[in-house]
């Protein structure tokens, strides 16, 4: 079992290399072990490309040659962090491929909750008399794919709240001016996070005060979709959020219009269940994860609705003694780490 956990951890390490590229697919890692040696490994390609198991097999082909690899597969173990798919999507079923290649054993981190898979991949392997183990490092495997699991089970994106506050609990100055709280290292880390999620959400006041671009300019990564809540369409067309560096979706009360990189979506009952309406619309657009960087009012609306999964809060060493208070979250700190002089606190909505 210790060996199984060791190689499953390697699968998890590989899986995270797909962050920001595989959505709405899950992040999966795979390792092929033969006589205590790894002969192939891989992780899921960007959306539409080969799955982790295919990439691990192709890796073995490159290292050993196809004929030799196929001989070794018959006495090899395939480790994979998520149940192999059992249906035809953009790629053929991975479970069928493992059966065809006669793997001796398959070790799976956790089952896939998607209705067309959920246990069916395991069933195919077992019916082919492949020794199958399920549930190795299960909690860790589920956690890595918490975005995917949330989308499948709750029909909404995984919601991450992000904000910075002073040591004495203030979010912004009283006079609605821009003033940085977190340090440069924290700012760069936020840009890394942006590249790992599908979308970033802000409200009208944040854009009018800060004029943000919401890109990953301080990190090497893709730009996420930009989501703007702008009920009365107050944000001017020349705002940086409307440049061509990323797609921008504007939820408002009046107008629907789809252009190249700017999409306006009117919500019929704008002030009723706004967080729920937005998340459902994003779910329909295959947005699997959302990081909310809006003002305190926007963030608090999702907290009050109980629709959030994770909060990442930078607490600086500075004290202002006055200002607009930070959002209030009814949760205990799960983990914390130092980012320069900032104290980064993680919360999870259990």
Catalytic sites, residue numbers: 53
Confirm or deny that 128 is annotated as ligand binding: no
SS3 199: strand
Is 197 annotated for ligand binding? no
The verdict on whether residue 35 carries a ligand-binding annotation is no
217 is in an annotated binding site: yes
Is residue 244 part of an annotated ligand binding site? no
Q: Is residue 180 annotated as involved in ligand binding?
A: yes
**Is residue 293 annotated as involved in ligand binding?**
yes
Question: Would you say 164 and 299 are in contact if contact means Cβ atoms under 8 Å apart?
Answer: no
Q: Is 319 annotated as a binding residue?
A: no
**Joined tokens for residue 332:** 């205990």
Q: Which helix (H) or strand (E) holds 40?
A: strand 37-43
SS in 3 state form for 136-164? CCHHHHHHHCHHHHHHHHHCCCEEEEEEE
Residues 6+ apart with CB under 8 A from 197: 20, 160, 224, 289, 290, 291
Q: Does 194 show up as a binding residue in the annotation?
A: yes
Q: Is 298 annotated as a binding residue?
A: yes
User: 141 a known binding residue?
Assistant: no
94 known member of a binding site: yes
User: Which residue spans within 64-215 are E strands per DSSP?
Assistant: 77-82, 105-110, 131-134, 158-165, 170-172, 199-203
For 150, residues 6+ apart whose C-beta sits below 8 A from its C-beta are 156, 157, 158, 309
Tokens representing 74 are: 């018959």
Which segments are annotated as binding site for NADP(+)? 164, 180, 210, 295-301
Which segments are annotated as binding site for substrate? 194, 206, 214, 217, 293
Which segments are annotated as binding site? 51, 85, 94, 164, 180, 194, 206, 210, 214, 217, 293, 295-301
Which segments are annotated as binding site for Zn(2+)? 51, 85, 94
């Amino acid at each position: 079992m210790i060996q199984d956990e060791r190689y499953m951890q390697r699968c998890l390490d590989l899986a995270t290399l797909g962050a920001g590229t595989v959505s709405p697919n899950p992040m999966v890692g795979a390792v092929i072990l033969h006589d205590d040696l790894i002969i192939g490994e891989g992780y899921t390609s960007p959306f539409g490309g080969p799955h982790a198991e295919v990439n691990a097999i192709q890796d073995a082909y490159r290292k050993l040659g196809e004929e030799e690899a196929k001989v070794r597969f018959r006495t090899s173990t395939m480790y994979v962090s998520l149940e192999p798919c059992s249906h035809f999507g953009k790629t053929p079923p991975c479970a069928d491929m493992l059966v065809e290649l006669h793997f001796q054993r398959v070790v799976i981190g956790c089952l896939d909750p998607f209705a067309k898979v959920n246990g069916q991949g395991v069933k195919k392997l077992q019916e082919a008399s492949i020794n199958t183990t399920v549930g190795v490092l299960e909690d860790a495997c589920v956690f890595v794919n918490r975005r995917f699991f949330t989308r499948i089970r709750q029909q909404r994106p995984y919601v991450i709240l992000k904000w910075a506050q002073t040591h004495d609990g203030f979010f912004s100055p009283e006079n609605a001016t821009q003033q940085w709280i977190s340090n440069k290292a924290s700012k760069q880390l936020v840009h890394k996070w942006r590249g790992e999620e599908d979308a970033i959400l802000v409200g009208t006041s944040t854009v009018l005060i800060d004029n943000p671009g919401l890109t990953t300019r301080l990190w090497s990564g893709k730009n996420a979709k930009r989501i703007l809540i702008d009920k009365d369409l107050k944000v001017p067309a020349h705002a940086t959020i409307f440049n061509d560096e990323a797609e921008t979706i504007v939820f408002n009360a009046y107008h629907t219009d789809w252009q190249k990189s700017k999409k306006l979506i009117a919500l019929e009952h704008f002030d009723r269940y706004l967080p729920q309406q937005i998340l459902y619309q994003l779910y329909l657009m295959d947005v699997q994860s959302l990081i909310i960087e809006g003002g305190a009012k926007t963030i608090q609306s999702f907290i009050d609705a109980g629709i959030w999964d994770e909060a990442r809060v930078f607490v600086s060493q500075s004290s202002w003694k006055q200002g607009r208070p930070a959002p209030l979250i009814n949760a205990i700190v799960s983990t914390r780490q130092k980012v320069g002089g900032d104290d980064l606190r993680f919360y999870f909505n259990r």
